[in-house]
A and B are shown apart, each in its own frame.
Chain A
Amino acid sequence: MIDEALINRVTRELYSAALRKVPDDTKRALARAIEHETSDASKSILRLMLQSALAAESSDRFVCSDSGIPVYLLEIGGAARWQGDIKGAITRGFAQLVETIQPPLLKHVSNPLTNERGYAGKDIPSISVELVDGDHIDITCVPKALGSGRWTQIETFIAPSLADIESFVLDVVLKAGSQHCPPVIVGVGIGGTFDHAAKLATRATYRPIGSINPEPTLALMEERLTEAVNATGFGPMGTGGVTTALGVHVDYAFGHGYTPVAVCFNCWINRRAKARIFNDGRVERIE
């Protein structure tokens, strides 16, 4: 049986781990990017990024000072057996983490009505729940900093062509320019409703870099959009180069003829940590 104490512990561990470790797929993508970069300056910045990632990991420090907004995704298996207040366990787990984590977090969560700063508040930690198959609960933790997140855009088109959609993605990329700590992971959500498109774009950024989109139309779109985004030339840290995106990930849902298209970004450190909790209490770190 999965209980509150277990969820509470995993909540704390995942957040702390996500702040200190750049995911392996992202480190591999950075290493590949060094091979492709054409100037010494952009290669040096990518090397410095890898050096920072490895230093954080080996010395148990944060990669970035912005611990962001705590975001948790719960995927609950149909055969998972659990009891108690799971959402409450996450909220309390995060509050305990804030009290105990070393080094301490900065106050990055704001009340938008007063601009007062803290660590949590109404609806934050952000917790969303999906029902899936299996005898386990997966928890994904994404400390979402808005240095990259602020460049997100959504627009609703009238029966757009693929060309219209791709053109919009490029417009958003150009607007973000040098400022979102590139190379980024670009998430694109097409269709559904307003909130659904945003969710698709966000979740698309969680996909491992280099994984092939199962939808052939989108797999091709991802390939050509990655080439297009990298042709803009903003490069690592936005000071020039051929690596502005480590990947473009696209997902879609059926919808109305009025089609929302959402575009979002994760900065190069691409923080996420994921664990699977089995009914017997075993915990397996997936990412």
Chain B
Amino acid sequence: MAEPHLSLPVSRDQIRELRVGDTVFLSGEVTATGGLPAHKRMIACLDNQQALPVPVKDALLHLPTMMDERDGRFEVRYVNPTTSTRFASFMPRLIKEFDLRIVGGKGGLDAPCVEAMRDTGCVYVSLLGGGSPILSDAIEAVVQVGWLDLPSHFRLMRLSIRELGPLTVGIDAHGNSLFEQLSSRARERLPEIRRRLDERRESSLHPELK
């Protein structure tokens, strides 16, 4: 399929057109953080009906950011995705209550998140870990920063991005997860993989070592 260039905000219908394995590029505004404390605080804000320092809407990426502050203005020096699964326990609620269309990071999310994404109409995009030079070039500006008491990569921030990608749709809005599919397939393949290992070992070993 053609590589779609999505401009945020995106509609639920646009998101539902995507399927696992598709490649996309993102432009527009996204919310980003790489920190557990930021996730805990987002949940606390929901619990206590408190306002967030930065809007969490449309897209939430697990994308730690190194930023500089100059004359009260923030400038991104570099970004890179982080492992999403450590935030998995928070994500179903964040996806639903903030009505997110896109979440992302690296490594995927678990089954309860997949279900929340199907219910809400949301996809997970996989960013290239170790792709800092490419991904950082797609950051146009820092729109807003919250929770300045936290280290740079743990803060909650709103970023303006242009052509962030290529990103792989790892979980679609129809309950399909590339990560779950690959994990199941690896488990299914395991007996055959072990048999092949045994076969190669047997054929190479000295008889006394068998």
Q: Are A52 and B77 in contact (CB under 8 A)?
A: no
Chain A nearest CB from B167 CB (Å) reads 10
Q: Are B126 and A237 in contact (CB under 8 A)?
A: yes
Q: Are A107 and B151 in contact (CB under 8 A)?
A: yes
Task: Assess whether A75 is interfacial by the CB under 8 Å rule.
Answer: no
Q: Which of B6-14, B92-100, B190-198 contacts A (4 or more CB under 8 A)?
A: B190-198
Chain A nearest CB from B26 CB (Å) reads 15
Chain A nearest CB from B2 CB (Å) reads 13
Size class of the contact patch on chain A: 35 or more
Task: Assess whether A213 is interfacial by the CB under 8 Å rule.
Answer: no
**Quick one: which of A47-72 are within 8 Å of B by CB?**
48-49, 51-53, 55-56, 59, 61-66
Q: A55-B133, A65-B153, A239-B170 are in contact. Are A41 and B23 (CB under 8 A)?
A: yes
C-alpha spacing A104/B68, complex, angstroms: 9
C-alpha spacing A59/B201, complex, angstroms: 46
Chain B nearest CB from A177 CB (Å) reads 5
Task: Assess whether A174 is interfacial by the CB under 8 Å rule.
Answer: yes
List chain B residues, Cβ under 8 A from A51: 134
Task: Assess whether B33 is interfacial by the CB under 8 Å rule.
Answer: no
Looking across the interface, which residue of chain B has its beta carbon closest to that of A44? Answer: B166
Task: Assess whether B129 is interfacial by the CB under 8 Å rule.
Answer: yes
What would 12 more interface pairs be, CB under 8 Å, given A239-B168, A240-B21? A51-B134, A61-B78, A63-B132, A163-B201, A174-B186, A174-B190, A178-B179, A181-B129, A232-B193, A233-B186, A238-B106, A239-B178
- A residues engaging B (CB < 8 A)? 41, 44-45, 48-49, 51-53, 55-56, 59, 61-66, 103-104, 106-107, 117, 147, 162-163, 166-167, 170, 174, 177-181, 217, 220-221, 223-225, 227-228, 231-235, 237-240, 267-269
